[in-house]
Structure 1
Amino acid sequence: MKHVVSIQSHVSYGYVGNRAAVFPLQRLGIDVSAVNTVQFSNHTGYGAWRGSIQTQTHIQELLQGLDEVGALASVDGILSGYMGDVDLGQVICQFVRDQKQRHPDLFYCCDPVIGDIGRGVFVKPGVGEFFRDELVSLADLITPNIFELEFLSGHKVSSLTDVVHACDQLRCHAEQAICVTSVPSDDGQVALLMDTSQGSWWVRTPFLSFAIAPNGAGDLTAALLLGRYLLERSLVKALQLTTASVYQVFAATFAEKSRELQLIQAQNQLVEPTIEFEIKRIR
C-alpha cells in the first residue's frame, strides 16, 4: 500500500486542505498520515472563522512522533498545501529534504497556495516568496492556478502560449512537472494543463457557473494528481483521471447548489469516474 504524508490545513466543517485531500487519497487505496498546519472551524472564504495556526514546534513534534513510531519507514509521497506562515514552511522544507534523502524515489507534490484571480494574495506576507524561493525547487510536481503561476514565474499570462512559457520559466529542474489549474480556453471551457520538459498536455471540461464557487478545488486536484501518479506512474494518465473525477465532484456540487464540495456524495467518482474527457498534446 502506498503511503502519503499530507501537510496542510484542516477545517471542522467543509472540504478544503486535508479535508479535501485525505478522503480522496484513502478512496484510492492510499494510506495517509495527515499533519494539520491550521485548525479552523471553516475555511476563510466565509469571511469569519475560529481556530488557530499551529506553531512550528507543534508541527515538528508531530513529524518527529510519526518517525518515532515507524510511520516514516516507508513514504511514497508528500503533499503540502496551505501554510499559515513562513516558520511552518521552514519545517516542511526540512522534512521534504530529509525524506527525499531517506527515500530517493519519494514524489513530492507542492500546491503553492498563495492567492487567486479576483482575490489577490490571501496568505501572510512572505509566504508567497517562500514558496517561490525555497519550497518549489524541491517539488516533483507543482500545482499552481493562473494567479500563482504568474506570481511564481514572474510572467504575466494572457494566452495558452503564455502559460507554457511561464511554466518553462518556473521549472527548477528537468524532471519537474507543473500542472496549472483553471486554465481558460477560447471556447469557454476550463482546463487542467500538465507541462513537463518532454511536452505539454491539457484536458478541457465544461465551465460550471456557480453563484458562489466552492473552495478546495485546488486541494482536491493536487491530492488526486499525486495519488493517481503513485498508482499509475504516468503524469498524463493522472491528468486525465484527475480531471474527470474533479469535474464529477463539481457537477454534484453544482447540482446541490452547495458552496462545499460534495465529496461524500460523489465519492465513487473519485475512484472510477463515469465520464472521460479528451486529452490533447499542445506541444
Structure 2
Amino acid sequence: MGLRRSGARWRAAFWQLLGMALIVTVWWLVTDGLKLYPAYVFPSPGAVWAEVSYGLWGSGPQDGKLLAAISGSLRRVLTGYLVALFLGLGVGLLMSLWSPLRNTLSAYLTALQSIPSIAFVPFAILFIGLNERAVLFVVILEGFIPIALAVSGALLNVPPVIQMAGRTLGASGLNLLLRVMFPAALPSVLTGARTAWSFAWRALVGAELLIAGSRSLGEQLEIGRNTANVALVLATILVIGVIGGLFDAVLRAFESRIRHDYGLEARQ
C-alpha cells in the first residue's frame, strides 16, 4: 500500500513537471526562438528569471527588493488571515446557534462575497485612510466571509445522530457544541479555511496595487507597470502564484489528512 501511494505521488509530480516544461518550451519558442513579440512586450523566460533572481538574492544596492516585498506582503496577509479566522469562527458559531442571526446575516454575507474585493478598496481608503490598515481591512473582510459561512453551514450539517450520541454521553450546551459538533464539522470547516486563504491572498494583492506602500508585491507590480518592465510584472505574478499555491498545498494536505482520519477520503 505504501509503495502504491508513493508511486502515485511520483507519477503526479512527473506529469506536473512535464506540463511545466512544455509551457516553458512554448514560451521560449514564442519569444527567443521565433521572436514573435518584441522583448519589451513579451519577455523571454530567461528575462523573467533574471528579474526573479535579481529581486530575491541579488547583492547590489537595488537588489533583493522582491524578497523584501514578499516579506511585507506575507506579514500583512497572515495577520489579516488569522484575524479573519478568529472572527469567522466566532460569527459562524453564533449563526449556527441563533436562527434569526443566521437567516439575516448569511444573506448579507453571501451578497458581500459576490462583490470583487477590489471594489472595497476605495471605501477602505476613504473610511480608514491611504495606509496599511486599509489593506488589512480588505484582507480581513474577504477572509472572514468564507470561514463564517463555512462554520455555520458545517455545524448545521452535523448529522442529528451525532448530536444525540453526544447528549446521551452527557454533553450539553456549549460543551456539546465545542466537543461534539465542532469536531464533527471540522473537515468542512477546513475546506472553508482554505477558501478563505485564497480570497484573502487575492484581496491583498489587489489592495496593495491601489494602496501604494513600501515592501509589497502589489508595489512591485505597480513599479513594473510604471517603468514598462514587463519582465518584472511577470516575475512578480509568478512569485504571487507560487506563494499562493504553496500555502494552498499545505492547507490542502492538512485537510486531506483530517478527511482521511474521519474516513471521508481514501489515501492514494
Which bin holds the TM-score, normalised by the shorter protein?
under 0.3
More helix by proportion, 1 or 2?
2
TM-score normalised over the length of structure 2: 0.24
More strand by proportion, 1 or 2?
1
Structure of greater Rg: 2
Which protein, 1 or 2, shows the higher relative CO under an 8 Å CA cutoff with sep ≥ 6?
2
